[in-house]
């Protein structure tokens, strides 16, 4: 007789063994430090009926056909064994079809929805992702009234640490810049279903700052030069730049404040703890004139090509100046006045990519103490949340300086995000952040966090084994001060497999068997188990999603980050080599360079990945109805073709070195054809389109002038990024690059064509490569593209399966052995 219970995967069985343990939070030192804050936050949560109503709203939007199939209720931590948890039971009041079948309880609305997600994922084989990455797969959920029951004892899942953090300070610009309430509501729903309870809430703060600085006699024109444009607000908030892309229209300020209030209301309704901004010392230039005795320092250049004072060299008010506390208090007071409440956690990153003027530990300590006084003067229960990026990024922060800053604030009042913990954890080299609580993130009282993505670049990448074990290792390590896990990517809506696993880690007490987990992933994501797809995902697991070289994965593929360098300085040393082979005699050698660029990152066997793509394509007829499958197929095809393009570019350079005009012509045409073909591939899925980014920017404009300004912001961020001259490109060019249909055909292809034109000219005329001429022409192309008003589709067209098959046969069939990890000498480093 068949069992009435489903057969569980090994990963699921392991999980079940811990579900019934009546454990409170793992008693890390960090959790004990923040216990008072947690008590305050528990008292100030929204009433249970409000949280239940908010959770039911998420269910209606996610699965309207089953809105009456689940019953929700709020329970106390005591009922959960002293920790936050969710519990899933068969509803005792279920009598007939139409009654709620499943009862889900949780300490907050977030835990209820995390429990709903857990049930849908593990008992209904469903999958929830961002719309752009394939959306939710819910057709595997049984019909209402026929839901799978749980075992009689029910299921209890506790959080091992209190917080699940979300966002990076720059996500607000790389992803959220143009969002309206409709998109924000979807994101907050997604956050709650993933169990996220500590999100950043940075929207609309410029309107608060406007009101605050007006109290300190700053005029509107003073603030016009201070705030960045809509796509660059993250960096003006951090004091990296000012004025770039601005000024901000008053309508923008008003709009965003209204939006922020909606965001906060919904977060509070669900029981989340939104993190608000605090004063970091970044001030308008005019404050120096208004307060001449204040200790205000002008900072150095931040990536401006000529240190242009219109955009860079911002002003920092010394934290030890009495004015610092005044402004800090006024900012928090104004937020509480506007929003009606606070959750007592504030983000402040005074030194993010800005080095302090003095490295004396005593000075660093006084700065930290003063920054915290500014927060506490506005909120006596305030806690400082700080990104730990500065400790990775800036060699200034040696152990004495780190200790001075981290110990300048009372115990439990500072929480650090270990921002790149899945690759380069700081907690393990700093004695648990010298006793300060942290968050492990994929980024880390400490928070253990996952950084994962830079600038929203499109690149398949991850370290699944580190995600599956790293947070557990950090939490159970001796004298652990870990208080949470988190995700701190610079841009979202990419690599859904990474975020699916990382979200689970907020509720995992033991290490996850990533291999067993990945075996179940494709069946959930596509709604059915397909052996060839499972084999393909196993290949991706140990190749693309097993990056262990410790490198930052900023996408520097040639198509999207074209080299601005004399071709004579590019070696083709790797040409024709297999991984781990040594160069053969006669290979070109790397010459001494003055101009350089980041080489593409390749950490896996491309032949194996091409085989995985072959397996994906073979399953197309079975899975063609799945948007998630089509997204993954397009993404994997793009990944394989982009690495092929890197090698094809080196073939062009090799022909140039050999004075082979016909070879340059042949291979450069092949490269440009590939760019056009990839644009058509990307057009097959909504997740890879330029149009939505530009149209959403224009949609927020009130008039034509704002439309032009907002579109310029959107176009500039993904191309030149910052300022340039006629002959010198931005130092941040292509940092925000994207593999988006429209961008390849309209910009990346024409840019490459200019370079190839000057290669041919150099050979035909027998002269040197016209580096300055190339730069002038492609910079002009870029600046014209930034100001263009050309429109692009917002909906996908084309058949992803047919185009992927065609491109595989055209470019990759039989070529796997030719696409190898590039020798480091081939590309000079920036």
Report the pLDDT value the prediction gives residue 800, as an integer from 0 to 100.
97
Best mean pLDDT range from 145-149, 163-167, 707-711 = 707-711
Burial of 466 from C-beta contacts in 10 A (0-12 / 13-18 / 19+) = buried
Report the pLDDT value the prediction gives residue 93, as an integer from 0 to 100.
83
Question: For residues 41-54, b (16+ Cβ closer than 10 Å) or e, as one string?
Answer: beeebbebebbbeb
pLDDT mean over 266-276: 98
Report the pLDDT value the prediction gives residue 576, as an integer from 0 to 100.
35
- What is the Cα–Cα distance from 714 to 807, expressed in whole angstroms? 30
Cis peptide before 286 (omega within 30 of 0): no
DSSP class of residue 276?
A: E
Question: For residues 169-208, b (16+ Cβ closer than 10 Å) or e, as one string?
Answer: bbbbbbbbbbbeeeebbebbbbbbbbbbbbbbbbbbbbbb
Q: Which of 259-273, 474-488, 628-642 has the lowest mean pLDDT?
A: 474-488
Give which of 638, 634, 635, 627 is closest to 526, Cα–Cα.
627
- What is the Cα–Cα distance from 707 to 605, expressed in whole angstroms? 45
Residue 582 pLDDT > 50, yes or no?
no
Distance, CA of 785 to chain centre: 26
Residue 473 confidence class, pLDDT cut points 50, 70, 90: confident
Residue 750 confidence class, pLDDT cut points 50, 70, 90: very high
Q: Which of 32-41, 245-254, 336-345, 739-748 has the lowest mean pLDDT?
A: 32-41
Report the pLDDT value the prediction gives residue 815, as an integer from 0 to 100.
65
Give phi and psi for 87, each to the nearest 5.
-130, 135
- What is the Cα–Cα distance from 309 to 298, expressed in whole angstroms? 10
Token pair, residue 359, equals 């490295």
Residue 426 pLDDT > 70, yes or no?
no
The set of residues, in sequence order, having a beta carbon less than 8 Å from that of 684 and lying 6+ positions away, is 630, 634, 796, 797, 798, 799, 800, 803
Residue 785 confidence class, pLDDT cut points 50, 70, 90: very high
Q: Which of 356-360, 371-375, 608-612 has the lowest mean pLDDT?
A: 356-360
Q: Residue 668: which H helix or E strand, with range?
A: helix 661-682
β-sheet bridge partners, residue 745: none
Report the pLDDT value the prediction gives residue 425, as an integer from 0 to 100.
56
Report the pLDDT value the prediction gives residue 816, as an integer from 0 to 100.
53
Furthest-apart CA atoms within the chain: distance in Å: 88
- What is the Cα–Cα distance from 328 to 335, expressed in whole angstroms? 11
Residue 367 · residue 350 · CB < 8 Å: yes
Q: What is the pLDDT of residues 115-135, one digit of tens each?
A: 999 999 999 999 999 999 999
β-sheet bridge partners, residue 73: 105
Which pTM value belongs to this model?
Answer: 0.91
Q: Which of 35-39, 608-612, 623-627 has the lowest mean pLDDT?
A: 35-39
Burial of 550 from C-beta contacts in 10 A (0-12 / 13-18 / 19+) = exposed
Residue 592 confidence class, pLDDT cut points 50, 70, 90: very low
Residues making up the chain, counted from first to last: 830
Residue 508 · residue 160 · CB < 8 Å: yes
Residue 231 · residue 717 · CB < 8 Å: yes
Report the pLDDT value the prediction gives residue 809, as an integer from 0 to 100.
97
- What is the Cα–Cα distance from 305 to 784, expressed in whole angstroms? 19
Residue 149 confidence class, pLDDT cut points 50, 70, 90: very high
Residue with the larger pLDDT of the pair 256 and 410: 256
Residue 641 pLDDT > 60, yes or no?
yes
**Strand 383-387 to 345-347 pairing:** parallel
Report the pLDDT value the prediction gives residue 436, as an integer from 0 to 100.
56
pLDDT mean over 547-576: 81
Q: What is the mean pLDDT of the chain?
A: 87
Residue 264 pLDDT > 90, yes or no?
yes
Over pLDDT 90: what percentage of the chain?
A: 72
Q: DSSP E strands: which ranges in 318-420? A: 345-347, 383-387, 414-417
Mutual angle of helices 704-717 and 771-787, in 10-degree steps? 140
Q: DSSP E strands: which ranges in 167-252? A: 198-199
Best mean pLDDT range from 171-175, 433-437, 585-589, 596-600 = 171-175
Q: Which of 34-38, 68-72, 119-123, 644-648 has the lowest mean pLDDT?
A: 34-38
Question: For residues 77-90, b (16+ Cβ closer than 10 Å) or e, as one string?
Answer: beebeebbbbbbbe
Report the pLDDT value the prediction gives residue 197, as an integer from 0 to 100.
97
- What is the Cα–Cα distance from 324 to 321, expressed in whole angstroms? 6
Q: How many CB atoms are closer than 10 A to CB 272?
A: 28
pLDDT mean over 352-364: 80
Report the pLDDT value the prediction gives residue 503, as an integer from 0 to 100.
95
Report the pLDDT value the prediction gives residue 30, as an integer from 0 to 100.
73
The set of residues, in sequence order, having a beta carbon less than 8 Å from that of 814 and lying 6+ positions away, is none
- What is the Cα–Cα distance from 707 to 733, expressed in whole angstroms? 23
Residue 419 confidence class, pLDDT cut points 50, 70, 90: low
Residue 309 pLDDT > 80, yes or no?
yes
DSSP class of residue 546?
A: B
Give which of 647, 672, 660 is closest to 751, Cα–Cα.
672
Q: How many CB atoms are closer than 10 A to CB 37?
A: 21
Best mean pLDDT range from 8-17, 397-406, 756-765 = 756-765
Residue 423 pLDDT > 60, yes or no?
no
Residue 292 confidence class, pLDDT cut points 50, 70, 90: very high
- What is the Cα–Cα distance from 201 to 181, expressed in whole angstroms? 14
Residue 412 pLDDT > 90, yes or no?
no
Report the pLDDT value the prediction gives residue 688, as an integer from 0 to 100.
98
Residue 453 CA neighbour count, 13 Å, CB half: 28
Report the pLDDT value the prediction gives residue 402, as an integer from 0 to 100.
83
Q: Which of 29-38, 288-297, 444-453, 730-739 has the lowest mean pLDDT?
A: 444-453
How far CA 722 is from CA of 243, 370, 479, 778, in Å, comes to 11, 33, 44, 15
pLDDT mean over 539-562: 89
Token pair, residue 239, equals 């004091």
Residue 384 pLDDT > 60, yes or no?
yes
How many distinct helices (H) and strands (E) make up the chain? 31, 16
- What is the Cα–Cα distance from 393 to 169, expressed in whole angstroms? 15
Report the pLDDT value the prediction gives residue 470, as an integer from 0 to 100.
87
Give which of 555, 569, 456, 563 is closest to 778, Cα–Cα.
563
Q: How many CB atoms are closer than 10 A to CB 329?
A: 19
Report the pLDDT value the prediction gives residue 477, as an integer from 0 to 100.
81
Residue 683 confidence class, pLDDT cut points 50, 70, 90: very high
Q: What is the pLDDT of residues 479-502, one digit of tens each?
A: 787 888 989 889 999 999 999 999
Residue 311 confidence class, pLDDT cut points 50, 70, 90: very high
Report the pLDDT value the prediction gives residue 456, as an integer from 0 to 100.
83
Give which of 491, 503, 403 is closest to 455, Cα–Cα.
491
- What is the Cα–Cα distance from 713 to 245, expressed in whole angstroms? 6
pLDDT mean over 566-573: 83
Q: What is the pLDDT of residues 1-58, one digit of tens each?
A: 333 323 333 333 333 333 333 344 445 677 888 889 999 999 999 999 999 999 999 9
Give which of 597, 603, 533 is closest to 567, Cα–Cα.
597
- What is the Cα–Cα distance from 352 to 373, expressed in whole angstroms? 19
Residue whose pair of structure tokens reads 């990533």 in the numeric block = 514
Residue 572 pLDDT > 50, yes or no?
yes
Q: What is the pLDDT of residues 789-829, one digit of tens each?
A: 999 999 999 999 999 999 999 999 976 544 444 333 343 33
Three-state SS letters, 583-632: CCCCCCCCCCCCCCCCCCCCCCCHHHHHHHHHHHHHCHHHHCCCHHHHHH
The set of residues, in sequence order, having a beta carbon less than 8 Å from that of 605 and lying 6+ positions away, is 543, 579, 821
What does the radius of gyration of the chain's CA atoms come to, in whole angstroms?
A: 27
State the distance between the two ends of the chain, measured CA to CA, in whole angstroms. Answer: 66
Instruction: Classify the C-alpha dihedral 471-475-480-484 as positive or negative.
Output: positive
Report the pLDDT value the prediction gives residue 67, as an integer from 0 to 100.
94
Residue 587 · residue 603 · CB < 8 Å: no
Token pair, residue 374, equals 């500014």
Q: What is the pLDDT of residues 192-216, one digit of tens each?
A: 999 999 999 999 999 999 999 999 9
Report the pLDDT value the prediction gives residue 597, as an integer from 0 to 100.
56
């Amino acid at each position: 007789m068949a069992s009435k219970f489903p057969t569980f995967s090994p990963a699921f069985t392991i999980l079940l063994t811990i579900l019934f343990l009546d454990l409170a939070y793992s008693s890390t030192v960090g959790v004990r430090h923040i216990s008072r804050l947690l008590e305050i936050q528990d008292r100030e949560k929204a009433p249970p009926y409000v949280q239940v109503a908010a959770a039911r709203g998420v269910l209606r939007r996610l699965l309207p056909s089953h809105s009456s199939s689940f019953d929700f209720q709020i329970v106390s931590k005591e009922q959960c064994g002293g920790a936050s948890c969710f519990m899933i039971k068969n509803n005792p009041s279920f009598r007939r079809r139409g009654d709620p079948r499943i009862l889900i309880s949780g300490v907050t609305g977030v835990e209820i929805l995390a429990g709903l997600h857990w049930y849908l994922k593990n008992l209904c084989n469903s999958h929830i992702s961002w719309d752009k990455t394939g959306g939710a797969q819910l057709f595997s959920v049984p019909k209402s009234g026929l839901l799978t029951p749980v075992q009689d004892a029910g299921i209890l899942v506790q959080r091992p640490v209190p917080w699940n953090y979300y966002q990076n300070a720059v996500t607000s610009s790389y992803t959220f810049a143009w969002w309206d309430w409709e998109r924000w509501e979807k994101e907050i729903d997604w956050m709650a279903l993933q169990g996220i309870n500590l999100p950043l809430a940075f929207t609309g703060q410029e309107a608060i700052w406007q009101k605050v600085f007006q109290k300190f006699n700053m005029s509107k024109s003073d603030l016009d030069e201070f705030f960045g444009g809509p796509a660059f607000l993250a960096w003006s908030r951090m004091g990296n730049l000012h004025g770039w892309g601005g000024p901000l229209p008053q309508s923008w300020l008003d709009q965003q404040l209204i939006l922020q209030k909606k965001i906060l209301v919904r977060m509070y309704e669900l029981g989340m703890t939104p993190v608000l901004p605090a004063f970091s010392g970044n001030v308008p230039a005019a404050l120096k004139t208004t307060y001449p005795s204040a200790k205000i320092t002008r900072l150095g250049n931040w990536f401006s090509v000529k240190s242009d004072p219109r955009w860079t060299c911002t002003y920092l008010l010394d934290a030890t100046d009495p004015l610092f506390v005044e402004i800090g208090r006024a900012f928090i007071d104004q937020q509480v006045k506007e929003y009606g409440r606070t959750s007592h956690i504030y983000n402040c990153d005074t030194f993010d990519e800005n080095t302090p003027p003095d490295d004396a530990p005593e000075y660093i300590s006084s700065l930290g103490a003063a920054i915290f006084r500014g927060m506490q003067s506005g909120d006596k229960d305030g806690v400082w949340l700080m990104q730990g990026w500065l400790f990775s990024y800036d060699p200034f922060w040696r152990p004495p300086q780190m200790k001075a800053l981290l110990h300048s604030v009372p115990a439990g009042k500072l929480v650090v995000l270990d921002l790149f913990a899945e690759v380069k954890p700081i907690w393990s080299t700093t004695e648990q952040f010298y006793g300060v609580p942290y968050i492990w993130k994929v980024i880390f009282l400490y928070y253990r966090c996952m950084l994962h993505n830079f600038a929203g670049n499109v690149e398949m990448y991850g370290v699944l084994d580190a995600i599956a074990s790293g947070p557990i290792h950090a939490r159970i390590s001796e004298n652990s001060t870990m208080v949470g896990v988190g995700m701190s990517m610079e841009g979202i809506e990419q690599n859904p497999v990474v975020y699916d696993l990382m979200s689970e880690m907020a509720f995992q007490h033991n290490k996850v068997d990533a291999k067993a987990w990945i075996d179940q992933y494709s069946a959930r994501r596509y709604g059915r188990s397909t052996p060839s797809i499972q084999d393909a995902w196993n290949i991706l697991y140990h190749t693309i999603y097993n990056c262990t070289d410790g490198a930052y994965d900023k996408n520097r593929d040639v198509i999207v980050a074209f080299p601005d360098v004399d071709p004579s300085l590019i070696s083709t040393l790797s040409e024709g080599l297999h991984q781990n082979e040594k160069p053969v005699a006669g290979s070109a050698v790397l010459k001494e360079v003055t101009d350089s660029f980041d080489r593409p990152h390749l950490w896996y066997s491309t032949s194996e990945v091409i085989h995985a793509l072959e397996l994906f394509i073979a399953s197309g007829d079975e899975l063609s109805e799945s948007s998630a499958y089509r997204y993954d197929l397009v993404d994997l095809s793009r990944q394989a073709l982009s690495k092929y393009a890197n090698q094809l570019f080196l073939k062009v350079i090799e022909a140039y070195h050999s004075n082979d005009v016909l070879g340059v012509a042949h291979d450069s045409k092949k490269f440009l054809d590939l760019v056009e073909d990839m644009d058509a591939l990307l057009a097959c899925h909504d997740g890879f389109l330029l149009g939505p980014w530009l149209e959403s920017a224009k949609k927020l404009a009130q008039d034509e002038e704002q439309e032009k300004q907002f579109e310029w912001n959107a176009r500039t961020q993904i191309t030149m990024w910052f300022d340039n001259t006629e002959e010198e490109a931005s130092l941040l060019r292509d940092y925000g690059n994207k593999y988006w249909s429209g961008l390849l055909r309209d910009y990346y292809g024409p840019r490459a064509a200019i370079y190839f034109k000057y290669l041919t000219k150099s050979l035909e005329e027998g002269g040197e490569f016209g580096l300055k001429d190339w730069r002038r022409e492609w910079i002009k192309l870029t600046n014209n593209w930034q100001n263009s008003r050309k429109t692009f589709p917002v909906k996908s067209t084309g058949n992803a399966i047919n185009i992927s098959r065609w491109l595989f046969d055209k470019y990759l069939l039989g070529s796997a052995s030719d696409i190898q990890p590039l020798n480091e000498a081939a590309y000079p480093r920036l």
